[in-house]
A and B are shown apart, each in its own frame.
Chain A
Amino acid sequence: DAKTTQPNSMESNEEEPVHLPCNHSTISGTDYIHWYRQLPSQGPEYVIHGLTSNVNNRMASLAIAEDRKSSTLILHRATLRDAAVYYCIPYFGNEKLTFGTGTRLTIIP
C-alpha cells in the first residue's frame, strides 16, 4: 500500500477556502486517490476521488500533481459543518481502504 503523509491538524476561518495537502510519493500507477472525511461521532463519508486529472464535485475539488506524488483537497468555502478529520487514501480496488490518522480540520467562526 502507498504511504501517505498528511498534516495532523489545520485551522481555517469560516467562509474561506481550505487546501488540505497529502503526500503519497510511493503511489502506484493504478492507485486512485480517494478522500474521505469523518465528522465528529460519525462514520467516514466519501468526498471525492481522482486518478490524474483535477476533479470537482458538489463537496470539493481535488487537485493532483502532475507526477501524482501529492494531491490537495480544496474546500472552496469552509463552513462549520466541514470540521472533520480528512483522510487521503490511494486505492486500487482491492476492497481494502487503508485509513491513516488523517488531518483534523478546525473551522474558526
Chain B
Amino acid sequence: NAGVTQTPKFQVLKTGQSMTLQCAQDMNHNSMYWYRQDPGMGLRLIYYSASEGTTDKGEVPNGYNVSRLNKREFSLRLESAAPSQTSVYFCASSDLEWGLAGGRDEQYFGPGTRLTVT
C-alpha cells in the first residue's frame, strides 16, 4: 500500500500561472482533505470531500478549486497563483465512521507539495 501520494513534490510558479496538485489514496477511504501549512504555523483546511461527488469549503478556500474525480483521487487547483499561496500543501484521507469508531478520526497524510509563487 502506498497510502496517500501527492504530485508534484516541488513546484515553482510565477504570479498568475495556474496549476493542479494531484492526490490519490489506495485505502478505500471515503473522506479526503486538502490543507496548507505556512512556515511556523499549523495546518489550515482548504477544502474537504466527505464522499465521492461532494466537496465543501474549509477555513481558507479562497483562490482554490477542488475536484473529487473518483473515490481515490482529489485534486486542488490554483487558477491564478499569488505569492500569498506560497506554502506546503498536504492531502489527507480518512475513513470517518464517527459513530462506529468510538470518536476516532485517523487522517492519513501525504508527503506534501512545496509550492513557491514568485
Contact = CB atoms under 8 A, between A and B. Distances in A.
Contacts of A44: 43, 90, 107, 109
B46 to A, nearest CB: 11
Interface residues of B: mostly helix, strand, loop or mixed?
loop
Given A96-B45, A97-B45, A43 B96 contact: no
Given A43-B90, A95-B50, A96-B48, A101 B105 contact: no
Interface residues on A, range: 20 to 34
A93 B96 contact: yes
Nearest to B50: A95
A100 B41 CA distance: 7
B31 A95 contact: yes
Q: Which of A96, A97, A102 has the most CB of B within 10 A?
A: A97
Contacts, number: 60
B98 interface: yes
A95 B96 CA distance: 8
A99 B40 CA distance: 12
24 contacts: A32-B103, A34-B105, A42-B112, A43-B92, A43-B109, A43-B112, A44-B90, A44-B107, A45-B109, A46-B107, A46-B108, A49-B104, A93-B96, A93-B105, A95-B33, A95-B48, A95-B56, A96-B48, A96-B59, A97-B43, A99-B42, A99-B43, A100-B42, A102-B42
Interface of A: 32, 34, 36, 41-46, 49, 51, 87, 91, 93, 95-102
